[in-house]
Amino acid sequence: MFGHTFLRINSGYESRLLSYAINYAANADAKKENGVMFAIKGLFGGYYGKYSLLPYYEKLKEYRDTEQRDIWEYDLNLNEEEVLRMVEHIWELNGTQSYYYFFTENCSYNMLWLLELARPSVHLREHFHYEVIPLETVHATKEEALISAINYRASKRSILLKYEELLDEKYLHFPKKLVAGEIKLQDIIVDATIPLQQKQYILESSTEWLEYSFSRNEMDKKEYIELFYKLSKERAALGKGKKLKIQTPQDPIESHRAIRVTAGGGLRDGDAIGFLGVRPAYHDIEDSNYGFLRGTQIEFLNIELSYSEDEVKLEDATILSIVSLAQRSEFFDSLSWRTKFAFDREYVDNKTNFIGSVGAGYSWGNKLAYTYVMLDPLFYVADGFHAGIGGSLGFVVDKFDFMSTNIEATRRYYDNGDKQNLVKVAQSFRLSQNFQLKLKYDYKEIETLLEKDEQTYRAVLNYYF
């Protein structure tokens, strides 16, 4: 979700696949590094970053096929002289390295230097001060009038999900079983009850699944080549079929910007209350999903205050919150997960306390909506250390561009014997690219004798820039 940007230098060949890609990344071996240490060292400059020049088709293979990322290409209106100036400087950078920082001096930031060198009249780096989010660099190039055309390349995941739509339900399991050797290819070919178009889809999706499995090292090269040849040969024998048409999704460049400010008001237990907030990055699942990956969230340093006649309270201070609600399907049995480190008011008392949680679960959905179940081990620092576990059931309707509905009910059990119910309902309306109206209801069960359960109704306006 955080994204990655690199530059493609077009060549004299007609096919863009034969172009070259300029990349900047942390000099770390992902196969040898511990995931947690990789994140920590990446945040605090524990790696050197270096430039690399690779064939474009190799980068597509890495990001689009292996890592299941859709690719958006934003063609730049640089002329030949500007491109040559940039390429000459890239050769000067050969063998050099600098400290890599995930949120600042990252892949995207170092691409901005190259674009400014190509066209000195643009000032891309001046758009950024505290963090450099890849998608924000695309917004910056748009504001500097550098983008001339846009193209979308579907990931291997998007292609396989499209075949899930096209295959009849009774044939959905055929591609995976065929690649696994659990059914024979010839049995499908000679089966007169299977329509020709469905046979074509079965073999095409089997080939896609085979390539995906090989990219994940689930088979050796010899086995892959033999089966690929058999599938391709039999598919060719079935004749010309319908070309796979994948609808281009919403362009990320039309999504909301990263920084959000919030203002609004409402009622808490019958008393008027106001809300003010600011979040430097980046997106949560209650924001408009337009142009973003479904069910994803990265929040960094979100601050929200409430104020009433009596006092000003800290409602939320999120250090980091990440959510990945990946819907399961025939081809992908993804695990959903989320983590949060923050100060919030969701504990059984009426104070703002520190929480840490890492949870996992599953999600299922269709084009209209998705649901999820999560189990979240957690701890609170509230007049001492308190551990617990929570179970959540959520439902999100996000089919429509102009609105979304989020509902989540949670039951928590704490080590001191306390139990707690939490309910959140949010109805959001996308007023424009960078304005959102959100109506929200929160219910919090409080276990202390001196306090009653808390209900909050609010209406807030979010502005993104």
**372-430 per-position pLDDT tens digit:** 999 999 999 998 999 999 999 999 999 999 999 999 999 999 999 999 999 999 999 99
**195-236 per-position pLDDT tens digit:** 999 999 999 999 999 999 998 888 999 999 999 999 999 999
- Domain spans in the chain, listed from the N-terminal domain onward: 7-153, 156-237, 255-464
The pLDDT score that the predictor gives to residue 449 is: 63
Which fold would CATH assign to domain 255-464?
Porin (2.40.160)
- Rounded CA-CA distance 368/363 in Å is 14
Residue 157 has pLDDT above 80, yes or no: yes
| pLDDT band at residue 14 using 50, 70 and 90 as cut-offs | confident
**260-269 per-position pLDDT tens digit:** 999 999 999 9
Residue 28 has pLDDT above 90, yes or no: no
